[in-house]
Structure 1
Amino acid sequence: MTAMIRSLGEEALNGLDDADRHLLTVWVWSGCCMHKDQNSFKGGNTTMTAHWTELDVQPIPLVNKDTAQVIRKILEPEAGDKPITDEDYKHLEDVAFGGGKLTALAGAVLNDALDKRGQGDAYQLFMEHYLDVEHIKSFPKTNNTQFGSHGEAAVELLANLDAYCQFLDVICIRKDSQTWTNIEKNVAAGLKDPPTLTKLAVLALYHITISALYMCAVRRDEETVALNAITLGPLHRDICNHCQTLIDNPELWLDFDPDVFALATFDGQIPARREVLDQIKQLNENGMLLHLDVMFPKFLEGALATWIRFSSEFAPGGVIDGLTDADKQHIWLPATNVRNEGALGGWVVWARNNPTGALHTHNGLGMYHRNGTYEFCQTFFTPEDHKHVIAAARVLEGEKLEKKQHQMQKEWDTWLVAEKEQANADKAVQEAAIQSRLDAVLLIESADEILARGMTNAKLDDQLEKLRRLWNSGKHHQIDIPNKSSLKTKPKKQAALQAAFEAHLALLEAQEDSVTLEELFSKVFDDSEMVQEEYWEAEDEEMAESWEEPE
C-alpha cells in the first residue's frame, strides 16, 4: 500500500508544471516569534549584567538558602579560620544578581506555581486594599516560564514599588517570629538596592518599548487573521531598526515625558501604564537608578544582536527572501508555536484520561479529526473500503506496536547505560594513570627552572597540567591556563607556564591573607538575624501550630 501511494504521488508530482512543483517541494522554515522575543530579552540581560563588572558598583547578591548558609559560615566561622573549600566557591559562583533574579524571587513569593507556597492570597487582599480596587490581577508567573512575565513583573514592581515594600513589611510583622524567610528577605533587599532597581528599570523599559508590543503583533488570532510567519521579515527589520534608534537617541526615553516617550515605543503610542514612567523618573532624579543612561543602551545592544541572530531566516539571499509575493500567499507558517505546544498539552490530557491508550492511537485520532478524514470516508467510501480499513486496523492492533516500542526503548536504555558505564570505567583508569604519573612530578619552586636546560616540552606540559589540577578543579578556575592543543611550540609553553606560576604564587599569598567576603555580602545579611527555613516550610510550621489543641 505504501509503495503504491508513493508511486502515485511521484507520478502526480512529475506531471505538474515547474511553478506548482516548486511550491510543493520548497522547504521553508521560521522560528517561533515568542521564543525570538524571549531570547532577545535574555541576550539583552546577559550583556547588561556583564557590563556591571566594568562599573564601580554591583547589585547585591540575591542568594538562595543553601548559598546563604555557606556564605554565613565563611563570614562567621565557629572555630578558627576555616579554609574556603571548592564546594564553598562553587556555591558562591551560583549567586545571582539583579533584576531578573529579583522578578523570579518575587514571582515565587507573590504567585508561586504551587498554591500552597508563597503569599499569593495575602498579596491579593493587601493590594486590593492598598490600591482601593475590587480585584487585581495575579502577579506575573515568573517562576512558570510564561513569555514576557519577567518584563511584566518589572513593570508591576516599579509601578507599585511603595506598595510592595510595605507588603513585605506587613508579612514580616504579622508572623509570630516577626522575621522574613530567606526568599522574602532577598526580595525586600532587592527593592531597596539602587543597582538592582536600575536593572529592574531597564527590564521595564524594554518591556514597554519593545517586548510587549512585539508580542501583541505576533499573537493575533490565527483562525481569523491567519498571520503568516514568512511575511514577517519587515516586522523584524523594524524591530532591529527601532532598537538602534533607541540606542542612538537616548533623549527619546531618558526624560520620561509621556508625550515624547511615545516616540520611543515601537507602536508610537503612550504606554498603557504611564505610572511606571513617573516612578522611574522619580527614582532616577533621586539618584536611585545608577548608570541608567548607560545600562539601557547596553541592554538594547545585546537584544539587537540576539534579534539579528534569531531572525536569520529573513536575511537577504535566504529562502524566504527568494520567494515571490505569490509564493508567500500559498505557503503559510504559524508565527508562534502555540499549536504545537497546544498539541503536546492535548496529548498530556488525553493520556491522563486514557491511561492505557497508545501514542499511535492518539496520533491517529488527531489526524482523523484534523484532516477531514471522517467527511472523506462518508463521501467516498464503499462498504468494501470500510471493511478493508477495519481489517487493516485489526492487523495493526495485533502487531502490538506500543509494546514493541516500549521494549525497544528498554533495550536502548540498557545499552546506553552499559556503554556509558564502560566509558566511565575506561576514563577512570586513564585518569588514575595520569594522576599517578603527575604525583611523581615535583612542581617547580622558581621561575628560573622554566628556562633551565633539561626542561623539555613534555616536562613543561606536566608542570602546566599539575597547576591546572591544583587550581582549576571542577567549575572553579582560578588560573587562566591555555589548553594543551593551543600550545604547539616550546616558547608558548614557557610563556604559559611563566604566567601560571606567577598566578600560583599570588594565590598562595592570598590564601595566607584569608580574604573575607564581608564587604560584598554585608548588605544582604543582618548580624541580628539568620533565617534557616524556606518560606513554605515556615508557613507549614505556623499552620501546624495554629491547629494544635490546647492542653
Structure 2
Amino acid sequence: NHKDDKKGLHDVYENYFHEDIGSSVRFLDTSNTCYQCHGLGGARIISHLDKHRRFMQFVKDHKTKRILNHLEQNVLKGLFCLKTLAQMVLLVLFCMALMHPYTRQVRGEGTEILNILDLGPFHASVKAHIRKVIKNPNLLLSSSPDSYKLATLDGLPWSDSKAWSECVKLLLTLPDIKPLLLAGLTCTLSGWEHFTAEFEEGGLINQATSSEHEMAFMPLTNYANEGLLGMWCRFSRESLSSTVSHFTDRTMLHWNNTQQFMNTHLNIPQDEMFLRQEARRPDESGIEKKCQEELNAHKQMVVDGKRKCKEWFTYFSYSLATSHMYSQII
C-alpha cells in the first residue's frame, strides 16, 4: 500500500488476490489515520501469508529488470522475519481481543445517541481486562477453540476466525512471545490510564453531574463531521464489494430526494421490477470482472515470459561457461 494512490501496488494487489479472497480485496489504508487498519491489515497478511510472499515474487518478476525497490525488499524480508511476524501476530490477537469489541461498543448500531462522557465504567472494564491478560498471558495465547470466552473483552467469538487459527499455528514457531506480549500490554495499559484519567474517580468528567453531561453532550464518533470524501472512505471500508458507481448512485439517491420521487410516481410492482433490472444490468454484464481478468492474464503472461527468459539466460550462460572450460582443457 502507498499513501499516494498513483504509486504503490493498489490495483495490482487487488487483482492478484481477487480469486483467493473474493469481492474487493483492497489493502487497508495503513498510511493514513484509519482506526484499526494496522490490525486488520496484519490479519489479512497472516491469513494469507504464503500468498503474500508469492505476490511479492510476482511483483519482482513483473518488473523490467526484475529487481524490487528498497521498500518492496523490506516488505518481502518482513514476510519471512520471525520477529516481525511475532509482532504482527500479537497485534492481530490484541485487536481481536480488545479493540474490535471496543469498537462494537462505541460505533455499533444505536450508539449515535450515547454520550462519550458516560463511558467511564466501560473504560474501567477495558483497563481491567488488560490487567487480567497481563496477569495470565495464556488467555490470549491459548489454542483452545473457546478461548475467546476469556480472551475477548465482550466474550464473543473472534472477529476473524481464519486469522485467529493462523495466528495460533504461527505461535508455535515464533520466539519470545510472552515477554513481547507483556511488554506491549504494559505500554498499552499505561496509555489507556493516561488518556482516560478524566474518567477516573475524582476526575473532571467523573465529578460532573448527569445534567452537566447532557449539557456537554459529545457523540462517540465524529461521523457528523465527515464530508463526501469521508463518506466514500467509510463506504469503501464497509462495502468491500461495491464500486465507485455504486457509491455515486446511492449518494445521488439521497441528495436528489429520488426516493420521494419514486414513492410519488412509481407505485406499481412493474416499476420496481424495471428499476431493479436496469440497476443490475451493469453488474450482470461482468464488464469490470472481465477487465480485471484480462489485466491479470496479461500480467501473468509478462511474468511467465520474463521467467522463461531468465531460464534461457541461465542455460545459455552455463553452456557458454562449459564451452569455455572445454576449450581451455583442449
Going from structure 1 to structure 2, the CA distance change for 1:122 and 1:343 (only over 3 Å counts) comes to closer
**In structure 1, what is the Cα distance between the partners aligned to 2:119 and 2:18?**
41
**TM-score, normalised on structure 1?**
0.40
Which amino acid letter does the alignment assign opposite residue 123 of structure 1? Answer: Y
Amino acid at match of 1:296: L
- The alpha carbon displacement at 1:219 in A equals 2.1
Helix, strand or coil at the partner of 1:150: helix
CA contact 1:256–1:277 (8 Å) conserved in 2: no
> Is 1:307 equivalent to 2:192 in the alignment?
yes
Partner of residue 51, structure 2: 163
Q: 1:192 aligns with which of 66, 70, 80?
A: 80
Give CA deviations for 1:279-324 in whole Å, capped at 9, x if unaligned. 1222222x2x211112112111100010000011112112322234
Partner deviation per Cα, 1:237-257 (whole Å, 9 max, x = no partner): 011001011111222121232
Contact 1:258 1:270 in 2 (8 A): no
For these two proteins, the number of residue pairs brought into alignment is 232
| Structure 2 SS opposite 1:262 | helix
In proportion to residue count, which structure has more helix? 2
Deviation at 1:202, TM superposition (A): 1.6
Distance 2:47 2:34 in 1: 20
The residue that corresponds to 2:134 in the other structure is: 247
Match of 1:122 in 2: 12
Letter in 1 for 2:67: T
- Which residue of 150, 157, 160 maps to 1:263? 150
Residues of 2 paired with 1:171 and 1:274: CA distance? 29
CA contact (8 A) 2:112 2:219 kept: no
DSSP-derived class of the 1:167 partner: helix
Q: Which amino acid aligns with 1:218?
A: V
Structure 1 position 179, deviation (Å) = 1.6
Q: Could you report, residue by residue, the CA deviation over 1:48-106 in whole angstroms, capped at 9, with x for unpaired residues? A: xxxxxxxxxxxxxxxxxxxxxxxxxxxxxxxxxxxxxxxxxxxxxxxxxxxxxxxxxxx
Shift of 1:200: 0.9
* C-alpha separation in 2, matches of 1:225 and 1:239: 21
Is the CA contact (8 Å cut-off) linking 1:253 and 1:264 kept in structure 2? yes
Distance 1:262 1:159 in 2: 22
CA contact (8 A) 1:201 1:280 kept: yes
Q: Secondary structure at the match of 1:253?
A: helix
Query: What is the percentage of aligned positions where both structures have the same residue?
Result: 29
Q: Does 1:295 align with 2:198?
A: no
- How far does residue 335 in structure 1 lie from its aligned partner after superposition? 2.3
SS at match of 2:204: coil
- Residue 236 of structure 1 is matched in structure 2 by 123
1:153 is aligned to 2:38: no
- Aligned residues of 1:142 and 1:149 also touching (Cα < 8 A): yes
Alignment deviations for residues 195-254 of structure 1 (CA, whole Å, 9 cap, x no partner): 1111111211111111222123222467x7411011100110011001011111222121
- Detail structure 1 runs of 4+ shifted over 6 Å in the superposition: 343-346
Aligned pairs for 1:4-403 (under 5 A) are 107-108=1-2, 113-131=3-21, 133=22, 135-220=23-108, 225-285=112-172, 287=173, 289-340=174-225
User: Which AA in structure 1 matches 2:114?
Assistant: L
CA contact (8 A) 2:96 2:158 kept: yes
CA distance in 2, matches of 1:163, 1:262: 31
Deviations 1:174-199 (A, max 9, x none): 22312212111110000100111111
State the TM-score, normalizing by the size of structure 2: 0.64
Please list every run of 5 or more consecutive structure 1 residues that lacks an aligned counterpart in the other structure. Answer: 1-106, 347-541, 543-551
CA–CA distance in 2 between the matches of 1:199 and 1:332? 38
- Cα distance in 2 between the residues matched to 1:250 and 1:136: 35
Contact 1:155 1:204 in 2 (8 A): yes
CA distance 1:207–1:322, shift in 2 (3 Å): same
Secondary structure of 2:80's match?
A: coil
- AA at the equivalent of 1:239: V
What are the ranges of 5 or more consecutive residues in structure 2 without an aligned counterpart?
232-301, 303-330
Does structure 2 conserve the Cα–Cα contact (< 8 Å) formed by 1:262 and 1:271? Answer: no
Deviation at 1:120, TM superposition (A): 1.3
Alpha-carbon offset, residue 161 of structure 1: 0.7
**Could you tell me how far apart the structure 1 residues matched to 2:159 and 2:229 are?**
34
